């Protein structure tokens, strides 16, 4: 933002311009509401596989992750076996989960984070970030591959990665969010998945930044983003890996 060259007007002129923008904001709000309605109206797919996860309680099924509720949101966190820490971009999103969780359980929603790394590799990083949400490992399971957030060496080498509903050139791990519903008989359905920038809707901090004159202050993608404990030494740490 070039403050020196920014237009400055009277209060009356500002109100006139603000009303023009308000009209567009209302159009966007109505469009968002309609998209949400269409998302809820999507057909469902019955989950046939018996996926297993590792949690602090031991082995868990997909049904266990619902924790007695009928709706489950899973965030596919980029954390592969052997990594020392999780993806900064996924960590940014994860910073928003604990606050939201205070309000989601009363709405019959459980939120669980799933990564492919073994649980003993995940837990030290979770402790470092001081997160409270449930985080489980899908190590040894097809779960990440079936929901198109992890890819084999062969797929990556042949540039045959199916991500965000198209074939593309990508690495072995990518972010995403998947939603499931469990009925009274215990049958589980996959209702929705979103990838790439589809997860932006969950990034509340970006909405705060978008209100400000400088916005997100980005020069190249999310180059400003760091783990929340690294901002004091940001120049010596890599930025977002998304």
What does the pLDDT read at residue 90?
A: 97
Q: What is the pLDDT of residues 178-224, one digit of tens each?
A: 999 999 999 999 999 999 999 999 999 999 999 999 888 776 667 77
Average pLDDT over residues 85-94: 96
Please state the rounded mean pLDDT for residues 86-104.
97
What percent helix, strand, coil does the chain show, rounded to 5?
A: 40, 20, 40
Distance CA 88, CA 222 (A): 10
φ/ψ (deg, to 5) at 158 = -90, 5
Question: How far, in whole angstroms, is CA 9 from its chain's centroid?
Answer: 40
Residues 6 or more apart whose CB falls under 8 angstroms from that of 237 comprise: 226, 227, 230
For residue 62, CA distances in Å to 45, 54, 70, 123 come to: 15, 11, 12, 20
Q: What is the pLDDT of residue 44?
A: 98
How confident is the model over 69-95, as a mean pLDDT?
97
Instruction: List the CATH code of the domain at 45-202.
Output: 3.40.30.10
The number of beta carbons lying within 10 Å of the beta carbon of residue 77 is 24
17 vs 57: CA distance, rounded Å: 56
Q: What is the pLDDT of residues 143-185, one digit of tens each?
A: 999 999 999 999 999 999 999 999 999 899 999 999 999 999 9
For the chain, the domains span 45-202
pLDDT at position 225: 87
d(CA 224, CA 226): 7
pTM beyond 0.85, yes or no:
yes
Phi, psi of 78 (to 5 degrees): -75, 100
User: Which ranges constitute the DSSP H helices of the chain?
Assistant: 11-40, 62-65, 88-94, 97-104, 119-129, 143-146, 153-157, 204-210
């Amino acid at each position: 933002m070039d403050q020196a060259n920014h237009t400055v007007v009277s209060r009356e002129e500002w109100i006139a311009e603000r009303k023009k923008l308000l009209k567009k904001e209302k159009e966007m709000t109505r469009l968002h509401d309609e998209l949400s309605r269409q998302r809820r109206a999507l057909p469902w797919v019955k989950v046939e596989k018996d996926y297993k996860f590792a949690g602090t309680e031991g082995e868990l099924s997909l049904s266990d992750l619902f924790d007695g509720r009928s709706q489950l949101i899973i965030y596919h966190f980029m954390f592969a076996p052997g990594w020392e820490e999780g993806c900064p971009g996924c960590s940014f999103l994860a910073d928003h989960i604990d606050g939201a969780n205070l309000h989601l359980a009363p709405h019959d929603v459980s939120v669980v984070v799933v990564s492919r790394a073994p649980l003993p590799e995940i837990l030290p990083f979770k402790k470092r970030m001081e997160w409270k949400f449930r985080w489980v490992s899908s190590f040894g399971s097809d779960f990440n591959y079936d929901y198109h957030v992890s890819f084999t060496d062969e797929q990556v080498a042949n540039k045959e990665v199916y991500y965000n509903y198209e074939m593309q050139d990508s690495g072995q791990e990518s972010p995403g969010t998947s939603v499931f519903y469990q009925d009274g008989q215990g049958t589980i359905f996959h209702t929705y998945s979103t990838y790439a920038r589809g997860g932006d809707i969950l990034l509340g901090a970006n909405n705060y930044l978008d209100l400000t004159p400088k916005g997100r202050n980005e020069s190249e993608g999310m180059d400003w983003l760091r783990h929340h404990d690294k901002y004091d030494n940001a120049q010596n740490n890599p930025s977002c890996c998304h």
